[in-house]
């Protein structure tokens, strides 16, 4: 049976039009994975000699055990954002003569083979070998590796619980940020010192390998919790139970001011406020706005003006990146309607454009208080705003013409987490880092003012050629019209 499940998934993946259109993206993902593996490998090999060199009077193993808490915490965070939950279309299997137990176990065990469980091994195994080489004894090395492996799996399953719980609510990634911050704070202010707790646990296990039973029990327990959660979701009830929302009708008269794009603008605003998936971009705005607080209050970043560019692009562009990269997939459910109605493509795209620039300007205005940390921040934020309005927004719209992945807005059942995962963030990278690079060259040769001016001028060029660029982008959309329609018609 497992053979069948595996082959179904294989087919689902490779027969989807998404795969066929995004080979470039998959290659990019491959490079990203390779980069991570190499970094981890280097870290695993180098950390022992480095620690020995820096702290000659301490045992590197104890030091590493002491900071494992942060390793686990960042592992959990990384998984939450990058790892996809094990997804399977279960409905067709439910009425077949198949034990439910089998389906659940398959889904859960499959996740143990995730890339994110192998990645830590690239650091863990070399470090374990270094332990053996440096006379910690073979048992110590192996026990340490085994314990780390078990903890990695514990984090794997812990992440699923957190992720599936937060996918049910609309808070998106607020819960994980909250959990991580609370754990970090408790540890930082030494209310509960998780770092030393985990450190001494690890030390104890290494001393006495019998204690390894504790993490194993933990793993089994967390697996069973996951099993229970999934098992409950295996009933179609969950998805067919008529949870009819009371519809709220709004006229949004104020959008009339925008003329011919008004009906689309209303549609987009309703799209965002009435569907779970896009609604999360509203919460992301809050996070984006507060993002500067990670950097600006810290002394060490005070003179790094290029960092302002990154933060500025992020703050003013977060909605753009989040919403824009799924244009026109947001409308995939009724794309045929839009294509056969009395609609000009250009107006449709213009309304998306307007929505994105309005939110960007709003975000800039809301971020003005950062001027408290220096006037240069405000100047740079303004420059990045102009850059976003003149460059990034068009890149996103243009990229949308290659979009072939349907988003099912109505899907609220379990097992649906479309469009999340590493790809979403990788798309954002160039949008965030290219302006930093553009800033750096004039910054080092001509100075701060020239660098800011470069960004602003680039942005203004984009804004000036708005009509031309939009005509070009519209043409691209028209060219891929038939492909989009047929791709959005597919259910996977």
Partner 1 sequence: MIQVSNLSKKYNKNTVLSITELEIPKGQAFGLVGNNGAGKTTFFNLLLDLINPTTGSIINNGIQVNKSEEWKPFTAAFIDESFLIGYLTPEEYFYFIGELRGMNKADIDSFLKQFEEIFNDEIIGKKKYLRDLSKGNQKKAGIVAALIGDPEVVILDEPFANLDPTTQIRLKKLLRDLTKNSRATVLISSHDLGHVTEVCERIVVLDKGEVVKDIKTSEETLKELEAYFSV
First to last CA, the chain: 22
Q: Does 491 bind partner 1 (CB under 8 A)?
A: no
Q: Does 236 bind partner 1 (CB under 8 A)?
A: no
Stretch that binds partner 1, among 51-59, 136-144, 202-210, 240-248 (CB under 8 A): 240-248
Q: Which is nearer to partner 1, 245 or 303 (CB)?
A: 245
Among 337, 441, 450, 461, indicate the residue that binds partner 1 (CB under 8 A): 337
Within positions 383 to 412, which residues make up the interface with partner 1, using CB under 8 A?
Answer: 409-410
- The three-point CA angle 384-388-393 to 5° equals 175
Q: Which is nearer to partner 1, 342 or 467 (CB)?
A: 342
Among 4, 274, 304, 475, indicate the residue that binds partner 1 (CB under 8 A): 274
Q: Does 271 bind partner 1 (CB under 8 A)?
A: yes
Q: Does 270 bind partner 1 (CB under 8 A)?
A: yes
Stretch that binds partner 1, among 223-231, 320-328, 337-345, 389-397 (CB under 8 A): 337-345
- DSSP at 391: I
Q: Which is nearer to partner 1, 18 or 296 (CB)?
A: 18
Q: Does 455 bind partner 1 (CB under 8 A)?
A: no
Q: Does 154 bind partner 1 (CB under 8 A)?
A: no
Q: Which is nearer to partner 1, 57 or 246 (CB)?
A: 246
For residue 21, what is the enclosing H or E element? helix 17-21
Q: What is the C-alpha radius of gyration for the chain, rounded to an integer number of angstroms?
A: 25
d(CA 245, CA 259): 31
Stretch that binds partner 1, among 80-88, 132-140, 168-176, 481-489 (CB under 8 A): 481-489
Q: Does 341 bind partner 1 (CB under 8 A)?
A: yes
Across 15-49, b (16+ Cβ under 10 Å) vs e yields: ebbbeebbeebeebbeeeeeebbeebeeebbebbe
Q: Which is nearer to partner 1, 9 or 347 (CB)?
A: 347
- The three-point CA angle 104-149-226 to 5° equals 25
Among 247, 257, 299, 303, indicate the residue that binds partner 1 (CB under 8 A): 247
Number of residues that bind partner 1 (CB under 8 A): 32
Q: How far is CA 324 from CA 90, 212, 319, 363, in A?
A: 31, 48, 7, 15
Q: Which is nearer to partner 1, 127 or 488 (CB)?
A: 488
User: Exposed/middle/buried for 416, CB within 10 Å: 0-12, 13-18, 19+?
Assistant: middle
Q: How many CA atoms lie within 13 A of 299 on its CB side?
A: 0
Among 342, 445, 467, 491, indicate the residue that binds partner 1 (CB under 8 A): 342
Q: Does 53 bind partner 1 (CB under 8 A)?
A: no
Q: Which is nearer to partner 1, 135 or 249 (CB)?
A: 249
- The three-point CA angle 96-102-104 to 5° equals 105
| 117: Cα separation from own chain's centroid | 18
Among 26, 109, 479, 486, indicate the residue that binds partner 1 (CB under 8 A): 486
d(CA 295, CA 292): 6
Q: Considering the complex, what minimum distance in angstroms separates the CB of residue 336 from partner 1?
A: 5
- DSSP at 208: S
Cβ atoms of 50 and 127 closer than 8 Å: no
Cβ atoms of 433 and 310 closer than 8 Å: yes
Q: Does 339 bind partner 1 (CB under 8 A)?
A: yes
Contact footprint for partner 1 (CB under 8 A): 242, 244-249, 263, 266-267, 270-271, 274-275, 333-337, 339-344, 409-410, 482, 485-486, 488-489
């Amino acid at each position: 049976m497992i053979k069948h499940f595996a082959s179904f998934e294989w087919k689902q993946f490779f027969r989807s039009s998404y795969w066929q259109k995004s080979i470039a993206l998959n290659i990019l993902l491959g490079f990203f994975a390779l980069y991570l593996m190499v970094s981890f490998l280097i870290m695993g090999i180098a950390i022992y000699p480095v620690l020995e060199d820096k702290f000659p009077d301490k045992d590197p193993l104890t030091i590493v055990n002491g900071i494992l808490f942060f390793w686990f915490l960042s592992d959990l965070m990384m998984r939450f954002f990058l790892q996809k939950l094990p997804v399977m279309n279960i409905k067709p299997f439910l009425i077949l003569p198949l034990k439910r137990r089998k389906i659940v176990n398959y889904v859960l065990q499959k996740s143990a083979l995730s890339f994110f469980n192998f990645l830590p091994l690239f650091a863990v195994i070399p470090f374990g070998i270094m332990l053996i080489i440096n006379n910690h004894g073979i048992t110590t090395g192996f026990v340490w590796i085994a314990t780390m492996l078990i903890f990695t799996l514990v984090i794997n399953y812990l992440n699923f619980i957190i992720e599936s719980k937060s996918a049910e609510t609309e808070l998106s990634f607020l819960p994980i940020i909250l959990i991580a911050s609370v754990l970090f704070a408790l540890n930082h202010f030494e209310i509960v010192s998780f770092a030393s707790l985990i450190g001494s646990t690890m030390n104890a296990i290494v001393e006495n390998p019998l204690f390894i039973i504790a993490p194993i029990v933990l793993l089994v327990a967390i697996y069973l919790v996951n099993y229970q959660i999934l098992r409950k979701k295996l009933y179609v009830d969950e998805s067919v139970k008529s949870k009819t929302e009371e519809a709220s009708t709004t006229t949004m008269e104020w959008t009339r001011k925008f003329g011919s794009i008004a009906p689309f603008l209303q549609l987009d605003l309703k799209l965002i406020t009435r569907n779970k998936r896009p609604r999360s971009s509203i919460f992301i705005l809050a996070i984006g706005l507060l993002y500067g607080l990670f950097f600006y209050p810290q002394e060490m970043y005070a003179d790094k003006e290029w960092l302002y560019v990154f933060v500025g692009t992020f703050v003013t562009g977060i909605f753009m990146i989040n919403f824009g990269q799924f244009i026109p997939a947001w409308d995939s459910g009724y794309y045929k309607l839009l294509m056969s109605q009395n609609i000009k493509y250009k107006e449709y795209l213009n309304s998306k454009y307007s929505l994105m620039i309005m939110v960007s300007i709003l975000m800039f205005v809301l971020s003005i208080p950062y001027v408290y940390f220096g006037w240069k921040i405000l100047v740079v934020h303004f420059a990045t705003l102009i850059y976003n309005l003149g460059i990034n927004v068009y890149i996103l719209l243009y990229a949308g013409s290659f979009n072939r992945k349907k988003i099912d807005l109505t899907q609220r059942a379990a097992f649906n987490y479309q469009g999340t995962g590493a790809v979403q963030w990788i798309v954002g990278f160039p949008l965030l880092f290219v302006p930093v690079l553009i800033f750096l060259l004039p910054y080092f040769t001509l100075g701060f003012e020239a660098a800011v001016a470069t960004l602003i001028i680039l942005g203004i060029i984009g804004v000036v050629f708005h009509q031309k660029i939009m005509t070009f982008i519209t043409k691209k959309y028209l060219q891929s019209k038939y492909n989009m329609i047929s791709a959005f018609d597919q259910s996977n």
